[in-house]
Amino acid sequence: MNAVGAFIVFAVCAVAVCGGIALGMAFASGLKLRSSRAIVLLALYFPVLLLALYFWKEQGRGTAWRDFGNFTGVTREAVMEYYSLHPERFKQSGADEELDMVGFVEWLPIFLKERKSNWPEMIRQFRYKDNHLITPEGQRVRYAMDFNKDWHVIALGQNIMTAEAGSIVAATYKTAIGIQFRPDDPIFCEPLY
């Protein structure tokens, strides 16, 4: 959220809180308000309160999506770097081409700390559960790899083509690594040359 949006959220929330305090004090002190004045105050207060709640909710949603975008980009970069350092640790974990990266979860915090200046908030966003990376939304990140080098990643119920025969990518193709961030999302595949 930019500075203007943050100011609007702050201003609307401040007006809503001050209006609520003023209304509470007026009714608690036994002040007899004419019914028309009370109706006008309530008519002004509740829309401001609803507007404050709406802006607060939207601010959180924007932050979550921005954080998720950063999370996916950094995760893809980390996986590619880990492969360049330790290709022997990329193991097939099932009948299809689902991937298990031995030691990745232990290595990832080191990768993030080395790049702290580039991604200051990244370290706190990465969570782990049962030796698996978890997205900011609480989903397990899943990986796949073209183990048989047939220009397709077949894993997690999907068949993703990673290169076309005769293309420049196919001429220098080594393998492809895929990442799935949400269970219903397609696998994002990145070919390695």
Domain ranges of the chain: 3-65, 68-192
| Confidence check: pLDDT of 60 > 90 | no
What pLDDT shows up at residue 86? 93
- In the chain, the amino acid numbered 191 is P
pLDDT digits (tens, 9 = 90+) for 88-101: 999 998 779 999 99
First to last CA, the chain: 38
Q: What SS3 state is found at 106? A: helix
pLDDT digits (tens, 9 = 90+) for 12-59: 666 666 666 666 666 656 655 555 566 666 666 666 666 666 666 655
Residues 6+ apart with CB under 8 A from 120: none
Residue 5 backbone class (left: φ over 0; alpha: ψ -120 to 50; beta: rest): alpha
Q: How many CB atoms lie within 10 A of CB 19?
A: 18
Could you tell me whether strands 175-180 and 90-92 are parallel, antiparallel, or unpaired per DSSP bridges?
unpaired
Give the Cα separation of 115 and 120 in Å (integer): 8
pLDDT digits (tens, 9 = 90+) for 119-176: 556 666 677 888 888 887 788 899 999 998 888 888 988 988 887 767 776 667 788 8
What pLDDT shows up at residue 126? 74
